[in-house]
Structure 1
Amino acid sequence: MPESRFHWSSSAIFARLKPALRGALAGIGCALLVPQAATAQTLRIAMTASDIPTTTGMPNNGFEGMRFLGYPVFESLVLWDLTTTDRLAPLRPGLAERWEQSPDDPKTWIFHLRRGVTFHDGTAFDADAVIWNLERYFNKDAPQFEPPAAGIVRARAPITTGYRKLDAMTVAITTASPASYYPYMAALILLSSPASFEKAGRDWAKVGLVGSAGTGPFRIGSVAPRERVELIRNDGYWDTAKKARLEKVVLQPIPEANARLAALRTGQVDWIEVPPADGIPSLKQAGFAIVTGSYPHVWPWFYSIGATNSPFKDVRVRQALNYCIDRAGIVELLNGTAEPAVGWLKASDPDFGKPVNRYGFDPAKGKALLAQAGYSAQKPLSFKVMISTSGSGQMSPLPMNEFLQANLKEACGVNVEFVVSEWQVLLNNMRALPDAPALNGSLSLNISSPSSDVAVMARYFAAAGAPPNGFNFAQWKDDAFEAAFAKLAATTDPKVVAEQTAIAHERLVDNPPWLYIVHDLNPRAMSGKVKGFVSPQSWFVDLTLVTMQ
């Protein structure tokens, strides 16, 4: 993978990408020049992904994949309420009408399935279908085992250890330890039709060419890799109150921000994810809607603490960088579509706690900590960071990382090199072991991440979530964090959960496994024709609410 020193322009980085990727992106740009017919109730969305998310029922491309080719088509036992903006999106019943911990065993959750639901192909949703999907993700010897999807699900629900059918409409799922937060993990396990796999000759590659059948408000109509996916309204959707208003949604991967901007301006799409910050004023002047809103998201660099000879084994180095960066400068660069991050949670969050360290732009303090750790002008701290050119929640990764590279050099004498990769490659490396060749010597990863609930906290920071089991890339372990987390996992008392979450978060700040940079405000730009959209405090959106004028 290519590397850089100091400033690269976006075009320079693009020029150094692998030829195959450059060709794919160029093809996408050319496709924008071809007029695309749209019916009155067709919504065309430009994603930040460089390819369409996988269509077999568990999409890749991070939570952007879940946003557009996850929940609109495939559903889980537990869903999100995405209709409000005044609080973090809560859970709601999905393909399970209700659930509870077993009174005999707090490690077991009982899910009572919704009756009368069918997949898009007309086959019945029942306990057998649920078990078939769980076997697909957790049993490597099952005929339907799908390794890429299994890797995603296992990392998002790493404490899942067993499952069984209790009757035709009831299943039990067992976890490694009592976990009051498990429904949040269950919400990320999507379910698709076993018949889709059989129809494709038990070949997941063939399933992906046409798309699997789910139970959601939209079904997959057509798939054109690297170009588009068409979603068609499911007129037989089980939740009659939430049938989609739109007839069709067209998803297009356009990873380059200015190409997305051009597509919106020329009417090729109606909605773009993450407009380029410097284009926002002119979009507003031209009458386009810029939609922003708080949501549970943080844009960090992950430290690799477990790598051989990693400087990040020393907590003073990890703290130092958190004092060395100019977060206000990043916010200004982004035209106000972000806010400074001084922890995994926002400082205004009631669970933020009272950490000793309150990070701000303080180069003197940062350099003092680096000096204590043995780094100086004569022996500067130097390391590589793996970054992407685009991707789910990645905002504007090239200019943002260039800013940080220059900022760290000027403020604290820190030398940063970049290893530039495709978004999905970067995501895969989040589960890499320390010193893995795929990291190309990177000691940090720039991966935007959710901060929505304690289940996410478990995946990213619990010692048990270290790769390959979860997303604790840092290989971080903190005894006080582990103790607090064990207490909140064992209780359903909201007061205790809040108290212990705050204690756990204090450790994330004072013993930081990440460099906390910004929380973004989820910007997207839309044509005035798009109506009814709600920007929830979530990574996901409810497309059933949207209409086209």
Structure 2
Amino acid sequence: MTPLRMRGLFKSAAFAVFAAMAAAGLTAPASAESVLRVAMTAADIPDYTGAPDQGYEGYRFAGYTLYDALALWDLSSSDKAADIKPGLATSWTIDPANSKRWVYKLRQGVKYHDGCDWNADSAIWNFDRVRDPKSPQFNPRHVGQMGTYVANIASVDKIDDYTIAINTKVANSLFPYEMAMYYMISNCAVTADKNDYKAYAAAPSGTGPYKFSSVSPHERLELVKNDKYWDPARVPKHDRLVLLPMPEASTRAAALLSGQVDFVEAPSPDTIPRLKGAGMQIVTVPYPHNWDYMFRMDVPPFNNLKVRQAANYAVNRQDMVDMLQGVATAATQTLIPSQAWYGKPVTYDYDPDKAKALLKEAGCSPCKIKVGISTSGSGQMQPLPMNELVKEQLDEAGFEVELVPMDWNALIGVFLSGAKGTEYNAINFSMAPIDPVQGILKKWMTSYAPPNCCNWGFYSNPAVDKLGAEATAEFDPAKRDALLTQMNEAVVADASELYIVHDLNPRALSPKLSGFVQAQSWFQDLTPIVVAP
């Protein structure tokens, strides 16, 4: 099937479904209140109690809006890859006498939305809600969503009211990145609710730039600006934020065109010309994103390097870029060129004849594989037509691909449980290699295989593990980056996944909006957006 014919798969009849949406109250309010209405790709409201689900889209809209972490992502620029900056901690330093002890100075004068004080006691309480099964606030569901970020913590000591020391199990020079992903919630609110998180969900409380207003299950989450946010520069420039799950790309575009939303995630490439013609703003920027197939490597066929190489040679990435009308770039590895650990690894150019020869050498013809895919979801771009194109090209090279579609949260469940014991030889699960911890270490080190984290396919290479251990123990940034680069190059040489494309993060905005800065990040800051009347 040609890319032109594939584009037709994006089309649907969703442009005629909005009477019900208007009846549900998605039209603009009559009051002078400025409201930003966002159409998410999520199929449901992400968890908003401090441990988001729905992938990193949940973090983007129900995490960093309501809550803060010890470190935050600097999302103020579109010119460079985002890095971390002080958040609820003003600084962090390694103990010169102990490479496993981090001293965090906490920000003073910060209050949760319910008036509770942020301090060392609150920080330790928050770590215990995931770390300590004996604590009254322990939340098993939060463990599933957030446990990986605190798995290396051995203990947390209170030095004074605004200083804590975090003792890690092993030395890890990259530990501060983990602390940018772990949200702090009001200990006062949970305690007042007698540690009942269902009750807490009725009035959740963080320290973030937005406060909870209301939720309509499966329909909308409404937040209001926090006028007393500790960083005056990030007090939202609008009064209310309405988050709406809309998994169908054409539905999101139609909602924008009809004026029922103002901000659309991941517009379908086929709709972009129409959106531009209607005066909508289309914004794109490269960012750390990888749309790939993760291989299961404990059993055939992908435990064979030749089969993994064959898959990479079988895919014409430019066809995918063309089908997406330029809102993606061809991927030759997990990372993007602007990241320090990109290196100069081997590349897999389109060569279907070589793919066929490798499959023949591997004795896998036809090479049958079952691939789990999602119908939508955070970072999944346009998964159905994209996966059909990948299937077509793999089949032409000698594979026999069975695609198994499911909703996004179901695929997240498959990912979190790991490949062993599943029916899948691969999954199409986009990832955010936003830092070397998430993008390299947790994807490829043997120790991070499930249930410990994110090495879904149980990839294991002693040389890679050695480089990863050396990198985490190295506190000199230049030396550490060199080790991480070597590690990344080794992983690519192993054809450790099927590299396909990097997203360019397209979004469509109403002409009424101004002030948005599209960061080179999976996460975005909505607070600067001004909504004109």
2:462 aligned with 1:495 = no
2:256 aligned with 1:267 = no
Query: What displacement does 1:282 show?
Result: 1.1
Alpha-carbon distance in 1 for matches of 2:525, 2:66: 11
Which of the numbers 182, 207, 218 marks the counterpart of 1:226? Answer: 218
Query: What displacement does 1:382 show?
Result: 0.7
Seen in structure 2, the aligned counterparts of structure 1 residues 418 and 211 have a Cα distance that, compared at 3 Å, is farther
Gaps of 5+ in 1: 1-6, 15-25
What SS does the aligned partner of 1:431 have? helix
8 Å CA contact retained: 1:233, 1:244 = yes
CA-atom RMSD in angstroms: 2.1
Alpha-carbon distance in 1 for matches of 2:479, 2:377: 36
Specify the alignment match of 2:516 in structure 1: 533
> Which amino acid counterpart does residue 316 of structure 1 have in structure 2?
K
Specify the alignment match of 2:369 in structure 1: 383
Which of the numbers 173, 187, 194 marks the counterpart of 2:180? Answer: 187
Cα deviation 1:455-511 (Å, max 9, x = unaligned)? 112222211111000111111112222222222212232221221121011112111
Specify the alignment match of 1:404 in structure 2: 390
Alpha-carbon distance in 1 for matches of 2:225, 2:337: 41
Alpha-carbon distance in 1 for matches of 2:124, 2:300: 42
8 Å CA contact retained: 1:48, 1:391 = yes
2:416 aligned with 1:416 = no
> Which amino acid counterpart does residue 217 of structure 1 have in structure 2?
P
8 Å CA contact retained: 1:29, 1:259 = no
Cα deviation 1:263-309 (Å, max 9, x = unaligned)? 11111100110001111111111110111001111011111112xx3
> Which amino acid counterpart does residue 469 of structure 1 have in structure 2?
N
TM-score, normalised relative to structure 2: 0.93
Specify the alignment match of 1:463 in structure 2: 446
Cα deviation 1:82-110 (Å, max 9, x = unaligned)? 10111111211100010111122111211
Query: What displacement does 1:346 show?
Result: 2.5
Cα deviation 1:28-82 (Å, max 9, x = unaligned)? 9943554533345210000000111111112111111111111111000001111
Specify the alignment match of 2:36 in structure 1: 43
Query: What displacement does 1:311 show?
Result: 1.0
What SS does the aligned partner of 1:498 have? helix
8 Å CA contact retained: 1:156, 1:459 = no
Which of the numbers 164, 171, 185 marks the counterpart of 1:178? Answer: 171
Give the 5 Å matches for 1:303-382. 303-306=295-298, 309-347=299-337, 349-355=339-345, 357-376=346-365, 380-382=366-368
> Which amino acid counterpart does residue 253 of structure 1 have in structure 2?
P
Cα deviation 1:384-406 (Å, max 9, x = unaligned)? 11111111111000110011111
Seen in structure 2, the aligned counterparts of structure 1 residues 488 and 28 have a Cα distance that, compared at 3 Å, is farther
Query: What displacement does 1:156 show?
Result: 3.9
Give the 5 Å matches for 1:411-450. 412-436=397-421, 439=422, 441-450=423-432
Alpha-carbon distance in 2 for matches of 1:49, 1:518: 21
Seen in structure 2, the aligned counterparts of structure 1 residues 68 and 348 have a Cα distance that, compared at 3 Å, is closer
> Which amino acid counterpart does residue 317 of structure 1 have in structure 2?
V
Specify the alignment match of 2:3 in structure 1: none
Specify the alignment match of 2:435 in structure 1: 453
What SS does the aligned partner of 1:134 have? helix
> Which amino acid counterpart does residue 258 of structure 1 have in structure 2?
S
Give the 5 Å matches for 1:21-420. 30-31=20-21, 34-35=24-25, 36-38=27-29, 39=32, 41-208=34-201, 210-306=202-298, 309-347=299-337, 349-355=339-345, 357-376=346-365, 380-410=366-396, 412-420=397-405
Aligned length: 520
Alpha-carbon distance in 1 for matches of 2:277, 2:375: 28
Query: What displacement does 1:224 show?
Result: 1.2
Specify the alignment match of 1:517 in structure 2: 500
8 Å CA contact retained: 1:28, 1:227 = no
What SS does the aligned partner of 2:184 have? coil
Query: What displacement does 1:161 show?
Result: 3.1
Cα deviation 1:203-252 (Å, max 9, x = unaligned)? 212222x2410001111111111011111010111112322111111000
TM-score, normalised relative to structure 1: 0.91
Cα deviation 1:329-365 (Å, max 9, x = unaligned)? 111111110001111112565522232x311111111
- Aligned identity (percent) is 40
8 Å CA contact retained: 1:55, 1:211 = no
8 Å CA contact retained: 1:78, 1:91 = yes
